[in-house]
Structure 1
Amino acid sequence: MAPGLILLAGTSESGKSSAGSYFAQEHHAHRIKIRTLLADLTSGRPATHEGVPMREGFDHREFLTVVRRLRESGDPQVLVIESFIDADLADATRRSWVAPARIVFITATHANRIARLTANAGISPEEAAAAIDRKDARKRVVEQWQQWRSLADDWIDNDGDIPGFLAELDAVLIRLNDQHDRVKG
């Protein structure tokens, strides 16, 4: 059977990378950043995001073909694709997967996201706020908010402490494994 699939989405500086890293390090999931997959596409137009070449305006069918090939690469129990920015694409990916799949949306208050970026990047709060606002606009976060709310299997408000966040991630994995067991049984 194909591995379970976790699709991580959310606002910038909310904890998506921390979640992907946690699943990979603590649960031996195969973690892939979506921009790695986008760089392999031929459709759409070349673009650069945060210094990484990728594609924008690509054919969703080509993306799904690339994702389906991941099922055949190795034997991880869980595959994590990090940083979905398009709700329709996340939903199509979940629906096309042949094993249990979950969309996990992670968010945090604007103030917490600014504080995280300020601390992590060593920039001023004003610079951090401007960077976050630019990223959220590029990701069309506000525009897709209600769609993410209706599609997400798990919604994590990451404004608490780290142990609480990790416990929520563990709960996501438990629910995915429960789905997997029901499919096998």
Structure 2
Amino acid sequence: MQIPQIRIESQVSRIGLTINKPNQSIEQPQADLSIEQPPAEMEINRLPSKLTIDQTLAKENLDLKSIFKRGDENSQLGYQAFMDYVSKTVQEGAELMRIENGGNPIANQAERALDHDIVFNTGNTPSQNSVKVEYTPSKVEIEWKRNKPNIQVQINRPIHEYTPGRVDVHIEQTPSLKIDFKL
């Protein structure tokens, strides 16, 4: 006896995937930076020091006088000598006018003419504080002007490139069912 047979063949489906990966690149360019530093400005004002030494009095003590000073002194000495001579002449004339009063005025006048002091000068030493010294110190004024730096920054945007990924789905094997009867 033959038994009928049923034969079943089945085939499952198979899915295939094709994957394209995403691609991303990010690049950050450096910022453009410009720095300029102007130099500082400096101004110096200086009043020079002043030293004054006046040794006129010391030179005069040593009899080293200027021509003008010597001229003034000589004119005063000449005037004084003239006035002394006039006074002496008047006095001697008055004595001679009174010769009758007695005495010996002519001999006295001759004796006084020969009697005079001799002055001998060995030189002088300048007196203390005869040199005058004046000193004015210098003054320095410094003015600064600082200039701020000029900084300019330009920020560059990032370069971003992106390619999205993709998945393609396809059927590699289709499902099938086969049924056979055999007697």
Query: Hey, which of these two has a bigger chunk of helix by percent?
Result: 1
Query: Hey, which of these two has a bigger chunk of strand by percent?
Result: 2
TM-score by length of 2: 0.16
Larger RCO of the pair (alpha carbons < 8 Å, separation 6+): 2
Whose radius of gyration is greater, 1 or 2? 2
